[in-house]
């Protein structure tokens, strides 16, 4: 039986044209977790011939947004950082998997790993804040 995607995540992604126009697809989501995927296209490659880090960040940020909004209340990023571990290339299929580390009051911390197959290409840490 397939896991039920939280309605709050489905609603948020439906309205997220930045992510959907890049072809980002939701693979899974549950309480405090989410996985999304994206293929690196020609318009995502920078002047060095490698995938632009901004697109890798956006993919990780989308997984983070899905995970932190999975609980229902509207939640936004309070901050985030990323470490690029390996370059990505044209036609790479990337998967970003977010995991909730802790929630305290209206704030939370989430880790996102971006992979190409079994290889880690980036690690992202996001800090969330539930809006009143």
Total domain count for the chain?
1
Report yes or no on 2 lying in a domain.
Answer: no
Q: Could you tell me the residue range of the domain that residue 94 belongs to?
A: 7-130
Contact 122, 84 (CB under 8 A): yes
Report yes or no on 114 lying in a domain.
Answer: yes
- Which residues make Cβ contacts (< 8 Å) with residue 88, sequence separation at least 6? 40, 50, 51, 56, 94, 116, 121
Q: pTM of the entire structure?
A: 0.95
At 1 the pLDDT is: 44
Report yes or no on 68 lying in a domain.
Answer: yes
For the stretch 7-21, pLDDT in tens is 999 999 999 999 999
Give the Cα separation of 37 and 107 in Å (integer).
26
CATH code assigned at 46: 3.10.129.10
Please measure the distance between the N-terminal and C-terminal CA atoms of the chain and give it in whole angstroms. Answer: 35
Report yes or no on 1 lying in a domain.
Answer: no
Report yes or no on 66 lying in a domain.
Answer: yes
């Amino acid at each position: 039986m397939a896991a039920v995607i939280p309605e709050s995540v489905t609603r948020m992604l439906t309205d997220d044209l930045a992510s959907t126009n890049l072809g980002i697809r939701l693979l899974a989501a549950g309480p405090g977790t989410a996985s999304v995927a994206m293929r690196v296209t020609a318009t995502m490659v920078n002047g060095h011939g490698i995938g632009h880090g901004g697109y890798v960040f956006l993919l990780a940020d989308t997984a983070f947004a899905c995970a932190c909004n999975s609980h229902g209340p509207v939640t936004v990023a309070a901050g985030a950082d990323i470490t690029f571990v390996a370059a990505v290339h044209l036609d790479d299929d990337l998967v970003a998997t977010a995991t909730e580390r802790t929630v305290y009051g209206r704030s939370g911390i989430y880790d996102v790993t971006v992979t190409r197959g079994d290889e880690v290409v980036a690690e992202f840490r996001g800090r969330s804040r539930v809006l009143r």
